[in-house]
């Protein structure tokens, strides 16, 4: 993890290098966290994992609340509805 003061944002080449090799860079202002700068691949990977976790949690909730159906009954309903 890299922490830099805001005044160091002027060195964009160094910021980009750090993001590409070490993950996000945390930027502080007056000693407090203010910004996070990260590589686009890191961002996309992280948001993808969050989305997948959200889907898993929703699925587990559906299981707990009985909002599921077995595959055979679903296939039978589709076959009946669409004549497949």
- In the prediction, which pLDDT does 84 show? 85
The neighbouring-strand residues paired with 33 are 28
For 25, counting Cβ atoms within 10 Å of its Cβ (0-12 exposed, 13-18 middle, 19+ buried), the class is buried
Q: Per-residue pLDDT tens for 33-62?
A: 999 999 999 999 999 999 999 999 999 999
Q: What is the per-residue pLDDT for 38?
A: 96
Q: Are 2 and 17 in contact (CB under 8 A)?
A: no
Q: Over range 30-34, report the average pLDDT.
A: 95
pLDDT tens digits, residue range 12-27? 999 999 999 989 999 9
């Amino acid at each position: 993890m890299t922490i830099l003061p805001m005044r160091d944002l002027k060195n964009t080449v160094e910021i980009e290098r750090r993001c590409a090799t070490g993950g996000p860079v945390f930027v502080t202002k007056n000693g407090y966290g203010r910004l996070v700068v990260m590589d686009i691949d890191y961002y996309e990977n992280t948001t993808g994992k969050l989305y997948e976790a959200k889907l898993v949690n929703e699925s587990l909730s559906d299981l707990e609340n009985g909002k599921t159906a077995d595959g055979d009954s679903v296939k039978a309903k589709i076959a009946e509805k669409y004549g497949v």
